[in-house]
Structure 1
Amino acid sequence: MDNEMKLAVLIDAENISGAYIDIILSEANGIGDVIYKRIYGNWTTSQMASWKNTILDNAIQPIQQYSNTTKKNSSDSALIIDAMDLLYQNNLDGFCIVSSDSDFTRLASRLRESQKYVIGMGESKTPRSFISACNKFLYLDVLLTQTQETTVEEEEHTALAPKTCISHMDKSVPSHTDDIINEFSPDTTSGKDIKTIKQALIKLTEENSDDNGWIFSGTLGNLLNKQFSDFDVRNFGYKKFVPFIESLKMFEVNTITDTKNETVKHNYFRLKPLPRQRSHMIHRRNNRNK
């Protein structure tokens, strides 16, 4: 526990819906120990009423900020000032900034310059500049959809007969991936665009694999996360990295059981030959057999 990352969660209430609060706190608590939970907004306005019970139930400290002029979000400034105050107290390891607003791009960059870990959380509409400024960025709307779908599936599995459940579980991965591709518009810099991720996986594997082309799954995952702050297997409907990689059907998989602990598995990936390469290899093999 002493080595657990100490975090401050700072929420822009005027930009984020209270429907995400369970996901926000669950993700933050999964990353480290949440020391500060603060939420910013003009609590005299009717639009903030939906947050009232959420704040009380989760012991989040509301920070009041009046709007000095119309169409100006003064809460952003209050959040930024608080973040810098907390930074100079020097007892935090990271900050979780919850907003879809690009105004926090410079704040995220400044915190990282001070060697603090920055997690961004917002909706898919979040500007690329803020996403890229964070060490890690999570799409709250995507995670909420995944949570809702999981709940529905669990209810269906409980209600359906075993035969129907088997049919549901046998749903092919390619069609699942196609659904994800159609759901999100292509973005060559986005960690939620499947084509971009595939291209990155090829490049990272070719550059970092051993002499036989194998790369450890943990190494590949870390490299991908460093390249795309918003990469998360849950963006594509998966809970773990290895099943996601296997679903792409781009890699050979070698699973090794740990000699000291048989419950621990080490997964290694190697790119499969391209169709043209496979044809060439078969042609060469047939010539040798003549």
Structure 2
Amino acid sequence: MKTELTFAVLVDAENASHNDYLAMLEEVEKHGTVAIKWVYADWTDPHQKAWKDILHETASSPKQQFHYGKDAADHALMMDAIEVTNNNSRVNAVCIVSSDGGFYSVAQRIREYGIHVMAIGKKNTPERFRKACHNFVFTDNLFEVTQNNNDDLDTLLLNAYHRCVEQNTPVYLGDMGRMIKQINSSFDPRTEGFQSLKKLIKSRSSLFDIVQESNDRCFIALKFKSATDGSHTLTGKVRKWERKKKFGFIKSKDGDYYFNAQELQSSVRDIREGITVIFNAVNVSEVRVQKDSASPSAFNVVIA
């Protein structure tokens, strides 16, 4: 059985951008649970003020290190990395956020302890640091940051589903529930008016099929639609496009429609938010009545 990773995320704020921080945390959460978020800098420096709001929003702890010597913040991060992996039994993974090749030695040492080492940095990060990690992610490859996840339930469910389906198909609902909590710790199906996640998923019948169900286990799969008699041709604009996961939503006069890359008749490289597309959909009249239900599926999507 694969051991679940519990991360300490240690950020060199003087060598990373606050604009990327949410996407960085989302990337780490794909691989496990984040238990510690420590961000290092000389916070008396006016240039670091931009980090203030994002630290509060993500419940991250700022670690103060005055510039008494060269690379003082880096040295503090290295010492804490060694200490947390030796003294915190819950932490079995570390993610270092920096493009500074000087971290290669601490990454190598932690790896020798049997700790999983991940890092996030720019493409110009020295190779020795990248090779010292189990997993190095370039900032250019980070997921686009999804805005207002709490207000976009369909996006949250689909995002969690696609992360799980990379590991197993169909998806066990319990695994999907844990993934949802990793993405959004405040998620609760009762907030959406349902007593359980299973009941919520069943209400999203235009997105998911229940492929196996028993008293204590439930497996789901994404519903794909193909062209059938009675379909309607509509025009709309791409409201949201999850580039990495290759699914999105189209805004039309009849409401929102979900689509994925398999339904595209145009090149996936040409899809972007704001472009006009033509697509097929079914049960348009029902959609008008059920505006509060899940977004119906679009298929045969082409750029206008």
Q: Normalization by structure 2: what TM-score?
A: 0.49
* Per-residue CA distance 1:159-215 (angstroms, 9 max, x = gap): 6999xx99x933347xx5xxxxxxxxxxxxxxxxxxxxxxxxxxxxxxxxxxxxxxx
User: Which residue identity lines up with residue 265 of structure 2 in the other structure?
Assistant: D
Measured after TM superposition, the shift of residue 82 of structure 1 is: 0.4
Q: Does residue 77 in structure 1 map to residue 100 in structure 2?
A: no
Cα separation, partners in 2 of 1:160 and 1:147, compared to 1, 3 Å: farther
Counterpart Cα distance in 2 of 1:82 and 1:37? 12
User: Which residue identity lines up with residue 123 of structure 1 in the other structure?
Assistant: K
1:225 alignment partner in structure 2: none
Counterpart Cα distance in 2 of 1:94 and 1:151? 27
Question: Contact 1:94–1:118 (CA<8 Å) still a contact in 2?
Answer: yes
Cα separation, partners in 2 of 1:125 and 1:171, compared to 1, 3 Å: farther
1:242-257 paired onto structure 2 within 5 Å: none
Q: Normalization by structure 1: what TM-score?
A: 0.51
Counterpart Cα distance in 1 of 2:60 and 2:265? 43
- RMSD, aligned α-carbons: 3.3
User: Which residue identity lines up with residue 169 of structure 1 in the other structure?
Assistant: L
1:35-74 paired onto structure 2 within 5 Å: 35-69=35-69, 72-74=70-72
2:4 alignment partner in structure 1: 4
Q: Which blocks of at least 5 consecutive residues in structure 1 are unaligned?
A: 177-290
1:110 alignment partner in structure 2: 109
Counterpart Cα distance in 1 of 2:143 and 2:46? 25
The alignment partner of 2:86 has SS state of helix
Question: Contact 1:15–1:99 (CA<8 Å) still a contact in 2?
Answer: yes
Question: Contact 1:20–1:144 (CA<8 Å) still a contact in 2?
Answer: no
Counterpart Cα distance in 2 of 1:22 and 1:154? 20
Q: Which moved more, 1:96-105 or 1:83-92?
A: 83-92
User: Which residue identity lines up with residue 135 of structure 1 in the other structure?
Assistant: H
Counterpart Cα distance in 1 of 2:41 and 2:25? 18
Counterpart Cα distance in 2 of 1:123 and 1:117? 20
2:92 alignment partner in structure 1: 93
The alignment partner of 2:54 has SS state of helix
1:195 alignment partner in structure 2: none
Cα separation, partners in 2 of 1:159 and 1:11, compared to 1, 3 Å: farther
Cα separation, partners in 2 of 1:144 and 1:45, compared to 1, 3 Å: farther
Q: Percent identity?
A: 33
- Match among 266, 271, 277 for residue 171 of structure 1: 266
Question: Contact 2:27–2:143 (CA<8 Å) still a contact in 1?
Answer: no
Q: Which blocks of at least 5 consecutive residues in structure 2 are unaligned?
A: 148-239, 270-304
> Which is richer in helix?
1
> Which is richer in strand?
2
